[in-house]
């Protein structure tokens, strides 16, 4: 372990055979694999790639790494995602500013990839019930927008309204709604845990973790369509 810097703090979020790894110091980073071993095996390479992406976008890298340690490991039960201990931390103005900058760069990347995608190609997605079915770039964007709407519904955010016909415009609409809710929630004086209709518990920190990680997860899908 590098004594000069603390290791990255890795969060393990298990959904049956599917394992998601997050890094507490890196909002918007996620590794997804089937099985804990394969997920951890991908982690170091994925961390280096994400750090390079941050630098290329002019975004700061945190004072942690290059080593990492597992600090939490929880499992979903009955389709209800876990509330990690770190999800109970308060979101600060600095947290929102960092996450907003990362998300802005990620959205720019997704939009660029979608515009350059081959419309005749498709890919299967990890996180949908119809695994194996092909998704072209427009369907990937619609999936991202649909999940944004789902996340906002889980925390009781106001309905977004009718989606634009174009998939990219639909994702841009849900992105604006997401950040509008996050900023209002971060300014609220009281900390709250919200429980949705399925019994899953949410906080603003968890919402940021899940939503920004979801955007990250589908970069590779759009890259595969180029």
Predicted pLDDT of residue 199:
95
Distance separating alpha carbons of residues 158 and 26, to the nearest angstrom: 28
Q: Which two tokens stand for residue 51?
A: 């750090």
Q: How far is CA 202 from the centre of its chain?
A: 14
User: Taking the chain (226 residues) in consecutive chunks of 10 residues, what is each chunk's mean pLDDT?
Assistant: 77 95 96 95 94 95 86 94 95 94 98 97 89 91 97 94 94 97 86 92 96 97 96
Distance separating alpha carbons of residues 149 and 147, to the nearest angstrom: 5
CB count, 10 Å around CB of 31? Answer: 25
Q: How far is CA 108 from the centre of its chain?
A: 15
Q: What single-letter DSSP state applies at residue 87? A: G
Q: How far is CA 134 from the centre of its chain?
A: 22
Instruction: List the alpha helices (DSSP H) in 33-191.
Output: 36-56, 93-116, 137-154, 167-187
Output the pTM of the full model. 0.93
Q: Is the dihedral of CA 30, 34, 35, 37 positive or negative?
A: negative
**Treating both helix axes as pointing N-terminal to C-terminal, what angle do 93-116 and 167-187 enclose, rounded to 10 degrees?**
180
CB count, 10 Å around CB of 98? Answer: 19
Q: Is the dihedral of CA 181, 62, 108, 137 positive or negative?
A: negative
Place of tokens 């997804």: 32
Predicted pLDDT of residue 3:
54
Phi-psi region of 198 (alpha: psi -120 to 50; beta: other; left: phi over 0): alpha
Phi, psi of 209 (to 5 degrees): -60, -50
Closest CA to 7 of 85, 54, 59, 63: 63
User: How does strand 8-15 pair with strand 68-75?
Assistant: parallel
């Amino acid at each position: 372990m590098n004594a000069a810097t603390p290791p990255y703090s890795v969060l393990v979020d298990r959904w049956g055979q599917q394992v998601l790894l997050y890094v507490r110091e890196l909002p918007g980073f996620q590794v997804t694999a089937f099985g804990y071993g394969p997920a951890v095996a991908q982690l170091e390479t994925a961390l280096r790639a994400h750090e390079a992406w941050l630098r290329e976008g002019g975004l700061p890298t945190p004072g942690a790494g290059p080593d990492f340690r597992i600090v939490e490991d929880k499992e979903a039960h009955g389709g209800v995602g876990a509330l990690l201990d770190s999800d109970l931390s308060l979101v600060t103005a600095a947290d929102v500013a960092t996450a907003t900058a990362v998300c802005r760069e990620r959205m720019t990347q997704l939009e660029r990839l979608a515009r350059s995608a081959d419309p005749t190609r498709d890919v299967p997605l990890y996180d949908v019930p119809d695994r194996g079915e092909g998704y072209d770039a427009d369907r990937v964007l619609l999936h991202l927008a649909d999940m944004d709407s789902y996340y906002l519904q889980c925390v009781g955010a106001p309905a977004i309204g009718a989606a634009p016909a174009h998939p990219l415009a639909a994702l841009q609409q849900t992105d604006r709604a997401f950040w509008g809710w996050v900023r209002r929630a971060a300014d609220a004086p009281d900390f709250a845990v919200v429980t949705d209709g399925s019994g899953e518990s949410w906080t603003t920190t968890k919402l940021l973790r899940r939503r920004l990680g979801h955007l990250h997860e589908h970069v590779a899908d759009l890259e595969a369509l180029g």
